[in-house]
Amino acid sequence: MENESRVQEILKRRGLDVTPVDNFTETDVPEPTERFTKLINIYYLMKNTVDMEIPYWYNRFWWENEGDVPVIRRAKAYGAALSRHTPTIWPGEKLVMNKTKNWRGAFPFPWVDASFFNAAAEALMNEVDAPPEAAADAVSIVGAGGGNVTQNYGNVVSIAKKFGMRKEEIPCLVKVSKYWDNGSVESVSDRYSKLVPEFNKWKAYRDSVLIMFDSWAIPQGREVINYYMPLQYGFDRIIELCDEKIGETLGEAGNDGILGMSRGYYYTAMKEITKGMSQWADNYAKRATYLAGLESDPVQKKEYEEIAAVMHNVAHKKPASFREALQMTFLCHLGVVNEDPQSGQSIGRLGQVLQPFYAKDLADGTTTEEEVIELLELYRIKITSIECFASSGVTGGVLSGNTFNNLSLGGLNYDGLTAVTPLEYLLVEAGMRARTSQPTLSVLYDEKTPEDFLMKCARCCKLGMGYPAWMNNQGGMNYMLRQYHDEGMNIYDARAWCLGGCLESSPGCFQPLDYDGKVWMIPGGAAPTAGTGIHFTGLPKLLELVLTNGVDKRTGIKVFEPHNKKLETFEEVWEVWMAWMRELLEVSNKINNIQMDVWRKINPPVVQSLLKADCFKKGQHIGDCGARYNGSINFESCGTINFINSMASLKKNVYDDKKYTLEEMTDALMNNFGFKTAFETGVFSPDRREATESAPKYEKIFYDCVNAPKYGNADPYVDSILKDYEDRMLPEMLRLRSYYGKQYYMCQISVSTHGPQGGITLATSDGRLAGTTYADGSMSPAPTTDKNGIYAVFESATCYDHAMCQNSQMNVKIHPTAVKGINGTKKLLDVIRAYMRKGGFHVQFNITSSQTLRTAQQKPDDYRDLLVRVAGFTQYWCEIGKPIQDEVIYRTEYDA
């Protein structure tokens, strides 16, 4: 026993947790605070509302500063818009501020995307339905429940099948949007893209929905915010620092004849946007003071006075308490997400960033754990209320209404020890009590993570909200060292990585925060967007085009020049598929580079460029490579497993066993194996099939396709095809160069694109019917095709090195009875640990029953607060479109 104690002591000193879990108990999760309950019930009643306040002020000051340097003009316009934003404070709030003056709302960004808003505005003026902006919009289905406004009613009109706008706001939308007809990022990049000789090829990719959407649609986001600058200095001191830097750099090129002179303009712009954000905060302080003067209830009056004090301090000073620090981070977060249409603006490791403030307040006795949990509950409402106003193809077909403000937990700290903090326990606790769709939680699993923290997170999973998800910390670090080696990535920065967006691994760094007489190394983002590249290519759709000789049978579009090959061998199928993939990558990369280069030139990001400390150090905004790491542009794919299974079926049935000719297989696919399509039946999973008169003709081939080898069963026959795919694609990524001049990487997630992209894909040779939603993620088996249990799925998923790519994605659905009680929690953690130790990058869980989901689909109003995990994010069930709902219901459900 003495030797065992000594070993445990040594392990503890090295940061390895050895806490036994045998004595853990599971008590009922406490109810959220009364304050949270009142406010979340208001949220449930709110509708997604569009207003024109920020676009109006942005345009007005953009016009007034015509001819100014773009980055300064941008900062002046956006800063003025924030400083004139109407402050709304609700009784009972402690944390304040919203994206708009409405509780749940958004606004258009016509300076980015003009055509959609102009088309909508013109249609609204004429009281007719607006045409879809792109082919993806037409096939995207938005959930009809919750806060979505899918139809006109009264004085409210529906836009993008999701948002409501009052008719009196339409003239402002028309005037503001019309100005950007020829000057938005979309219109300017479109003009230059058309000069690319292969532009018509790109258009064919988009019109056939082989590629889901353009990069300018969401030019920011899918990155990790960095809160260091305002926490370290406060806004007043940042303004002073800008003045100092302006004095040093304005008119000086230094040794850089290309970007040296831009430093003075950068600091001038940073001063303008900081002034705007400071005034924005002060306006809330003034509003709270005004409300306090009107309030007769002494308790509410005191709360208004506290808000006024917090917001005045946030407007000018660096935070001096946990509450002020949390409010400051939320202000900065809104500042970023209000600058451009975006999703995936990740919060980062907030529990590690704010630990110094929490520790001091707790030690001083100025707060308690329960008071902090209440603030974190209210924070969850605030983050959940963030919306993205874009076309239905983006909001419904990609995002399912969520904006992926991910909060990461765990990992390693600067010294290589566990980074878990006491505050992170409270973040999980708040997520357990206050069940909202955001922020989603992500555990950076490491063998050094304390066992009781892992158990708490696993317990949280069991509550059925779909969070936290689990990522392999060592795999993420290995990816960072591989991808960013040439930019100087070292082990210290590798430890600072976390999730940007729902699942995009993003580089970070540690910065020294001076607080309470100590220096704390806090992590934050160190790169631009980790998701704006070649967007969501449907891998099964590309295989379909190989079989149809380049013609999209759904639309008649010639997407590729005919290959006119007989495809007599399986390798020849691979060769044509890869040749067309290579063409798609090369053409799409050119268009993407133009779109994003135009964005950074005429619409440079200012708030994010203020917050990234390296930008401030260099005097360069993010578009000019101001961030520390810039190789963060990716290729996004969708439908990986349907593609792999389809290739396995072709190999088995056509080339190995020679049961059918390729022509016979293609004929069966073109005729949907004799069944009605998903759009004809209204069922988007294999849950129900309706035969037609031609079904007997294809009965045998359908049977053999359904029963061909499937991924997820530890079968080398099909798993080797997955490994072959990964090995073939990696060199293609290394050949591409982004607009930053850096190599690409693979992003293997689906978000919600597996709905619309499945919708435009004909039947596939794995037995999937036309229009049926693809299998989600990239590692999730096609529903009900995994027959050998979860560990066989893990064996299949780890047939290649996950650290080669930015990510992989696996969803698992478990019946609640399988993880019941403390032993169930241990079993769930064992499952997670097994996958991590095999090298899997990501796994997430829906712990619910298919029967519950079916009932909720029929009676959505009775399940307003039901949450499910979709693909990298949690969302309210009633706000998800039916194609995705059907897919979630039909996922394999483990009950043992």
> What six digits make up the tokens of 315?
């407007």
Query: For residue 865, what are the CA distances in angstroms to 568, 798, 860?
Result: 54, 35, 9
Query: How far is Cα 427 from Cα 350, in angstroms, rounded to an integer?
Result: 9
Catalytic residue, chosen from 504, 636, 726, 893, is: 504
Angle at 699 between CA 694 and CA 704, to 5 degrees: 145
**Nearest of 307, 305, 303, 300 to residue 284 by alpha carbon:** 307
- End-to-end CA gap in the chain: 36
What is the residue-wise DSSP string for 431-486?
A: HHHS--S-S-EEEEE-TTS-HHHHHHHHHHHHTTS---EEEEHHHHHHHHHHHTGG
Q: How, if at all, do strands 163-166 and 220-224 pair? A: unpaired
Query: How far is Cα 697 from Cα 675, in angstroms, rounded to an integer?
Result: 11
Query: At 95, which helix (H) or strand (E)?
Result: none
Query: How far is Cα 616 from Cα 596, in angstroms, rounded to an integer?
Result: 22
Strands (E) across 699-797 are located at: 745-748
Cα 181 to chain centroid distance, Å, stands at 29
Residue 637's DSSP bridge partners are 537, 748
Q: How, if at all, do strands 105-106 and 49-50 pair? A: parallel
> What six digits make up the tokens of 69?
């340097």
Helices (H) and strands (E) counted in the chain, each on its own, are 36, 21
Whether the CB-CB separation of 348 and 523 falls below 8 Å is answered with yes
**Nearest of 758, 748, 786, 767 to residue 884 by alpha carbon:** 758
Query: How far is Cα 449 from Cα 263, in angstroms, rounded to an integer?
Result: 42
Query: How far is Cα 764 from Cα 571, in angstroms, rounded to an integer?
Result: 19
What is the residue-wise DSSP string for 732-745?
A: HHHH-B-TTS-B-E
Query: How far is Cα 189 from Cα 247, in angstroms, rounded to an integer?
Result: 35
Query: How far is Cα 42 from Cα 156, in angstroms, rounded to an integer?
Result: 20
What is the residue-wise DSSP string for 835-874?
A: HHHTT--EEEEEES-HHHHHHHHH-GGGGTT-EEE-SSSE
> What six digits make up the tokens of 807?
């990510």
What is the residue-wise DSSP string for 317-360?
A: S---SHHHHHHHHHHHHHHHHTTSSEEEEE-BSHHHHSHHHHHH
Identity (one letter) of the amino acid at 681?
T
Q: Give the 3-state secondary structure of residue 772.
A: coil
Whether the CB-CB separation of 633 and 535 falls below 8 Å is answered with no
Query: How far is Cα 533 from Cα 849, in angstroms, rounded to an integer?
Result: 36
Catalytic residue, chosen from 461, 502, 705, 805, is: 502
**Nearest of 75, 101, 73 to residue 86 by alpha carbon:** 101
Sorted by sequence, the CB contacts under 8 Å of residue 244 that are 6+ apart come out as none
> Has 504 been annotated as catalytic?
yes
Q: Give the 3-state secondary structure of residue 894.
A: strand
Residue ranges of the alpha helices (H) in 198-234?
A: 199-207, 228-233
Cα 51 to chain centroid distance, Å, stands at 24
Query: How far is Cα 59 from Cα 321, in angstroms, rounded to an integer?
Result: 37
Whether the CB-CB separation of 819 and 787 falls below 8 Å is answered with no
Whether the CB-CB separation of 333 and 345 falls below 8 Å is answered with yes
> Has 502 been annotated as catalytic?
yes
Give me the active site residues, please. 502, 504
